[in-house]
Amino acid sequence: MDTLSGEPVKELRKVLAPRHLAMIAMGGAIGAGLLVGSGTAIAVAGPAVIITYLLAGTVLFAVMRMLGELSSLSPDTGSFAVYARTYIGRWAGFSVGWLYWWFWAVTAAIEATAAAVIINSWLPALPQWLTALGFMVVFTGINLLTVRSYGEAEFWFSSIKIAAIAAVMVVGLIALAGGFSGSGASLDNLTNDFAPNGAAGIFTALLAVIFSMFGAEIATIAAGESTNPREAVVKAVNSVVFRILLFYVGAVAIVVTVIPASSVIAGVSPFVTLLERLHIPYASVVLNVVVLTALLSCLNASIYSSSRIVFAMGQGQDAPPTFTRISSTGAPWVAVLVTGAAGFVVSLLNYLMPQQVFSFLVNTTGATGIFVWLIITVTHLRSRRVLLAQGVDVTQRTDVLTVKFYPWINWLLVVALGALLVFMGATQAHRQEVLLSSAVALMVVTVGLVRNKPTPPVVGSTGARQRR
């Protein structure tokens, strides 16, 4: 029973297999940010971008381990929004849930628009805005089907992306072994002018890299709909982080070794540059197809994750109760439609008022990923204290994925993420994003505090949440 309303809690169907969960996390974190955005990072940091990716990967590893501990203790569809509500207070769950929903609703429109640009380059007669809206309709429809439909779509989308990146890595390794005569592939490319812009370049590139990794946490949201939630989330967190590091760090390291970093142009896929340097035919066409797949994968994940967050919030009365309605196929259809509608509106605004409104809306989400990771870090920090007060020591649980070096790793991560926000605010190119994102976050937190006066978190002896 839902102790808030006295009504039975509506549950989503648990049909996602471990392979779905692993690929959902991979699909959320590996996309156009790596395939195209890595070009900007390389252009700024040079070969030292490898250090940038290692730093970002370390942050991702810490965040995912913390979220993994919380999720393996109590797998929930609402994931960190539910945990923030449980261990910090209702206002915190309300705030992070709505911020996360807004981020992915806007991201869905961004991905649909970017995918429409690629289609428009192939079919100029087809209106770009119509294509973007078409993508929104199709993927909203997919999410209205069974969750297994979403899982299968994401599995194959992610498989295509990973296969393409792996193929480029293999080609790069062949080039380094001398398989392409006159390619210029050499370790000298890696060591010559290793950090052209010094430490400033490494940390400036960190902004783009960190944002490209945001999305791996979707696996813990999907865990609530998996056949064996606790086991699935442990496997997903353990494997996904290392796979992401392999594809991010490994792929970028190969790129800057095969070709000089100075030949990489910001905004142009370094993978295309590498393949064209090796005279691989149709390289740009093939990579465009892969990038399109990555964009559609992220669009699919955007609608899924945001709908599940507001579904869980509806269960906790932090969103309208209609958001908990489930269709005969097992999909939270109201939550999906609301998210899809938001994406439709933002996509349309990109066509009608791209500079006046669309750019403004995109900037309101610029720092949301960092805010969410900060909340996850603080939630984990609080969870240990609350549970110990209830007589529960998670470090003694063999079925829980525990975090090492607690609480020092939490405080270190808070300082690091906070410093990144300050650095963004001091950077002209990102200042507006930080200011607008912070304004939106402050507004949502204020509403959360007014609506839900802070109350001590209540946790049962098993660590499961109890609603007040």
pLDDT tens-digit readout, 119-131: 988 998 888 888 9
SS3 content of the chain, % helix, strand, coil (to 5): 75, 0, 25
Encoding tokens for residue 68?
Answer: 């993994």
pLDDT band of 414, cuts 50, 70, 90: very high
Closest CA to 167 of 49, 48, 254: 254
CA distances from 46 to 90, 198, 211 (A): 45, 9, 19
Residue 149 exposed, middle or buried by CB count within 10 Å (0-12, 13-18, 19+): middle
Closest CA to 106 of 117, 95, 114: 114
The string of pLDDT tens digits covering residues 293-329 is 888 888 888 898 899 899 988 888 888 999 989 888 8
Encoding tokens for residue 205?
Answer: 């590139």
Distance CA 21, CA 203 (A): 32
The string of pLDDT tens digits covering residues 269-288 is 888 888 888 888 888 888 88
Distance CA 216, CA 336 (A): 20
- Residue 16 β-bridge partners: 226
The string of pLDDT tens digits covering residues 247-271 is 888 899 999 999 998 888 887 888 8
Identify residue 68 by its one-letter amino acid code.
Answer: G
Closest CA to 120 of 107, 108, 129: 129
Q: Where are the alpha helices (DSSP H) in 316-363?
A: 333-352, 359-363
Output the CA angle 80-85-90, nearest 5 degrees.
145
Residue 262 exposed, middle or buried by CB count within 10 Å (0-12, 13-18, 19+): middle
CB neighbours of residue 327 within 10 Å: 13
Report the chain's C-alpha Rg in angstroms: 22
Closest CA to 212 of 35, 361, 377: 35
pTM of the model: 0.87
Residues 6+ apart with CB under 8 A from 11: none
The string of pLDDT tens digits covering residues 34-92 is 888 888 889 889 999 999 999 988 898 899 889 888 888 887 666 788 899 999 999 99
> In this predicted structure, what is the pLDDT of residue 453?
67
Which one has a higher pLDDT value, 168 or 245?
168
Closest CA to 296 of 125, 458, 142: 142
The string of pLDDT tens digits covering residues 326-369 is 888 888 999 999 999 988 888 888 777 766 677 788 788 878 98
Residue 121 exposed, middle or buried by CB count within 10 Å (0-12, 13-18, 19+): exposed
Average pLDDT over the chain reads: 83
Encoding tokens for residue 107?
Answer: 């991201």
Encoding tokens for residue 29?
Answer: 């974190």
Q: What is the largest CA-CA distance in the chain?
A: 73
- Residue 226 β-bridge partners: 16
- Contact by Cβ (8 Å): 17, 226: yes
- Contact by Cβ (8 Å): 96, 445: no
Distance CA 283, CA 269 (A): 11
Residues 6+ apart with CB under 8 A from 104: 301, 302, 303, 305, 306, 309, 339
Instruction: Provide, rounded to the nearest whole percent, the portion of the chain with pLDDT above 90.
Output: 22
The string of pLDDT tens digits covering residues 214-233 is 887 887 787 777 777 777 77
